[in-house]
Amino acid sequence: MSILTFQPSDVPDGGMHRFEAGDRKVLVTRDGDVFHAFDAVCPHAGADLGSGVRCGARIVCPWHHAAFDASDGSLLEPPALQGLKQYRVRRSAEGLSVDPNDTVQVPPPPPRLSGHHTVIVGGGAAGFMTAQTLRAGGYAGHITMLTAEHRAPYDRTALSKAYLSGDRPAEKLSLGGPNWARDHDIDLREGTRVTSLDRDARQIQLAGGETLSFDVAVVATGATPHALKVPGAELEGTHQLRSFRDAWELREAAEHKRVVIVGSSFIGLEAASSLVEHAASVTVVGQDAEILSRAVTPRVGRALRSLHEDHGVRFQLDSGVTALEGRGHLEGVRLKSGERLDAHLVLLGIGVGPNSGLLSALADDHGAVPVDAELRAAPGVYAVGDFALAPTVLGTLRMEHWRVALQQGMSAAQSILESPVLEPMSGRVPFFWTQQYGKSLRYVGHADRLDDTHLWGDPGALKFIEFAFEDGVAVAASGMGYDADLAAFEELLRQGHAPAADEVRTGPFSLVDRLTQG
């Protein structure tokens, strides 16, 4: 393995530079005369961090916006689950050098909260990240994780993408590796249903009759897919996509079959792109005039629909389903126009509702559970994930996004630990991404409406950024082919320095330059 040598002037002060050291990529940061070196490959999905952005103490991944501390590589933002490997930087008369074999061993944090018991209800992203962050932060108490699924925590985002397409096997879905619970001393109880939570007594009742006492409970029960309320909805051949079992059943059933997907948002479209190569046909039915109508404008939606059509997906938009038809098993889908689509199976992608039953006394009229900036719903009880109504830099929101759930789990764990590096949710930015046909659309921020927008680039060429404004300031940006700029936009939002609508309309300009130049 090659030793990297370089001069101080090769790395901009306050910035970073990626070098090649044989077959290894090394990222070097500089602050005055202080240099640090790290593995330049993001541990989440393998992105080149040298193509990302640096914002103060943060190194931000260009793909999925994981963030790492520029001085020690520690994890600041998911979806990465661990920090960066750090290498020692040595000085000599000839300059600076890094040997990728010479790693900096970070001492573990001192043990904390020995004798404490945290019970996590739910094995999804938020529950997993709570446990992961607790152990990484030195939590020495007992952690019990209760999940209704008969599986250890896994990457749910892959279900509608790589798993459904057949590109990622089931054994590669686990979060933290196949032995994560054992390696982190987690008492993982699969196939366990919780019937009640007593906040005052700090006890959880299990379906089998067992009672667990807790010092802290973290409720991460997620959301439940909406059902289609039409005649024939009970027919065999109707599928949802929320769990691994759902995805497995759908993948097995769809081979060489006519598939109708009800819903033209992200889950439905990801499933369409994954199934179209294996199914006899795929048709997407959407009630709006264009796909993804809540996230992007019609011009962008048309471009993304064309991408699907080029791969053989058909669309019935500005439409709806009035009945599912068949004798025992699904045979067709009746649209509100009266047209009948032949179908062997239907996938419902019509949204989810918050699964807040354990904390129903705290929930609002929509089933969301309000929490504070540290995800605390009540003394000793945290609510994280899809049903939590939590502060963000853009106000209080309930978000059904994978990275938001991971962020909430991280913040809750830091709060339990009373961590000095606590990053409350009120300082975090919502972000999600979708991947279809190998193309990624990334969405930063949140916009309730799309009546004031501006577009840079060409959606037809799948290279654009679309901004949404509220009160004359950008609150959201979605795009393809502008990875570093979108990462920079997230940092600008986090700092409260998002560009004004008038400034965006004079563009395009480099959001990375805007970030680094202040």
Q: Are residues 358 and 334 in the same domain?
A: no
Tell me the pairing of strands 345-348 and 340-342.
unpaired
Unique residue bearing structure tokens 């995800």: 375
pLDDT for position 2: 86
CB 154 within 8 A of CB 173: yes
User: In the structure encoding, which two tokens stand for residue 222, read together?
Assistant: 């997620």
Query: Mean pLDDT, to the nearest integer, of 63-78?
Result: 97
Q: What is the pLDDT of residues 242-280, one digit of tens each?
A: 999 999 999 999 999 999 999 999 999 999 999 999 999
- How far out from the chain centre does Cα 126 lie? 10
* pLDDT per position as a tens digit, 481-493: 999 999 999 999 9
How far apart (Å, rounded) are the C-alpha atoms in residues 21 and 439?
A: 30
Look at residue 421 and tell me whether its pLDDT is greater than 80.
no
Cβ contacts of 458 within 8 Å, gap of 6 or more:
464
State pLDDT tens for residues 285-311: 999 999 999 999 999 999 999 999 999
Give mean pLDDT, residues 69-82: 97
Task: Give CA–CA dist 403/426, Å, rounded.
Answer: 15
How many structural domains comprise the chain? 4
Q: Cα-flanking dihedrals φ and ψ of residue 342, to 5°? A: -65, 135
CA atoms of 233 and 431, how far apart (whole Å): 34
pLDDT digits (tens, 9 = 90+) for 172-208: 999 999 999 999 999 999 999 999 999 999 999 999 9
389 shares a domain with 346: no
pLDDT of residue 416: 97
Neighbour tally for 151: CB within 10 Å: 16
Domain span at residue 267? Answer: 238-350
Average predicted confidence (pLDDT) for the chain: 96
Q: Are 86 and 43 in contact (CB under 8 A)?
A: no
Query: How far apart are alpha carbons 504 and 277 in whole angstroms?
Result: 40
Beta bridge partners of 61: none
Query: Tell me, what's the pLDDT at 1?
Result: 60
Domain boundary residue, one of 295, 329, 350: 350
Q: Which of 369, 403, 427 is the last residue of a domain?
A: 427
Model-wide pTM > 0.85: yes
Nearest residue to 465 (alpha-carbon basis) of 441, 439, 445: 441
**311 Cβ contact partners less than 8 Å away, ≥ 6 residues apart:** 273, 276, 277, 437
* Residue 293 counted as domain residue: yes
What is the CATH classification number for the domain harbouring 291?
A: 3.50.50.60
Q: How far apart are CA 406 and CA 89, in angstroms?
A: 32
212 and 359 part of one domain: yes
Does a cis peptide bond (omega within 30 degrees of 0) precede residue 508? yes
